[in-house]
Amino acid sequence: MRHIFQAALMLLFPGLCPAQLLAPPEALDRYLARPHAQPGCSDLVFEVRIDASLPKLGRQGSMDGLKVVSKTGQIAYRGLRFTGDNLVKTAVIARFLANDAKPPVQTSSVAITRRNYSFVYERTSAYNGSIAHVFRLRPNRKRVGLFKGELWLDASTAAPLRLWGDFSKSPSIFIRSFRFVQDYQSLGQCNQPVRLLLTIQTRVAGKAEMAVWQHSVDSRPPHDEAGVSGSDIVGSRGIEH
């Protein structure tokens, strides 16, 4: 079966050496076997750009700054500069920042595992100069934090390239639906998001849209473990106009 798969890839992607590619089941097994805490995924600094809007209300805003991941994996945002409508700042961007800066919850109830999801291989596709194995994910139960969508894995390394989906259960009574698309970048042995797109249908303000871009930077500003709470970024002192 493997040689048939490799022959098919040669027809679809003639410039590739099939010996360097994993079969879809191998790629999925390798991805699922990875430890949750990846080596090299702490003590990092990213330049961040966030664009958000409330199309129904005709309001929009943008934020630039630094995202600092401490040695313990906690997140803080520094030097934030905001332009645009104040409602977008407080109701959309600040809420996202506060939620992102919360300590990560290590729980198996929403992790991407075979216990929580069924995986169906769909196709092999080109992705930004790489080859991706695309799997359809379906949650095995309806629970907040689980989603229905796709997982794209690098066919050579099994590293995540893209993850997208619709939440199977709304996280709030004020939200009708929640869709995300997340693309990844490789930083050594670490895989971090490079782009996150959010489309949220709310019951009050209509649709809320957000695009988050982050790129690694070499310089690391001094930071201490005590200064990484989410409360530091929500108030007026956290986001500059």
pLDDT at 29 exceeding the cut of 70: yes
The whole domain housing 198 covers: 43-104+115-240
CA-angle at 92, arms to 54 and 77, nearest 5°: 140
| H-run or E-run covering 95 | helix 94-100
Question: What CA–CA distance (Å, rounded) separates 95 from 101?
Answer: 10
Percent of the chain with pLDDT over 70: 78
Q: Is residue 140 part of a domain?
A: yes
What is residue 228's predicted lDDT score, i.e. its pLDDT? 33
Percent of the chain with pLDDT over 90: 53
Q: Is residue 18 part of a domain?
A: no
* Cα dihedral 195/164/95/144 (nearest 10): -160
Mean pLDDT of 21-26: 95
CA-angle at 111, arms to 107 and 116, nearest 5°: 115
Are the beta carbons of 139 and 157 closer than 8 angstroms? no
The pLDDT tens digits for 163-209 are 999 998 887 788 888 999 999 988 777 888 899 999 999 888 889 99
Q: Is residue 98 part of a domain?
A: yes
Mean pLDDT of 8-24: 65
pLDDT at 155 exceeding the cut of 90: yes
Mean pLDDT of 139-165: 94
Q: Is residue 6 part of a domain?
A: no
What is residue 189's predicted lDDT score, i.e. its pLDDT? 73
pLDDT band of 225, cuts 50, 70, 90: very low
What is residue 4's predicted lDDT score, i.e. its pLDDT? 52
What is residue 70's predicted lDDT score, i.e. its pLDDT? 83
State how many domains the chain has.
1
Q: Is residue 21 part of a domain?
A: no
What is residue 241's predicted lDDT score, i.e. its pLDDT? 39
What is residue 143's predicted lDDT score, i.e. its pLDDT? 87
Average pLDDT score over the chain:
82
Buried-state track 64-96, b at ≥16 Cβ within 10 A, e below 16: ebbbbbbeeebbbbbebebebbeebbebbbbeb
Q: Is residue 20 part of a domain?
A: no
The pLDDT tens digits for 73-103 are 788 999 999 999 999 999 899 989 988 887 7
What is residue 227's predicted lDDT score, i.e. its pLDDT? 36
Q: Is residue 25 part of a domain?
A: no
CA-angle at 230, arms to 226 and 236, nearest 5°: 110
pLDDT at 237 exceeding the cut of 50: no
Number of residues written out for the chain: 241
The pLDDT tens digits for 97-124 are 988 887 765 566 788 999 999 999 999 9
Mean pLDDT of 34-53: 82
Q: Is residue 35 part of a domain?
A: no
Mean pLDDT of 23-45: 83
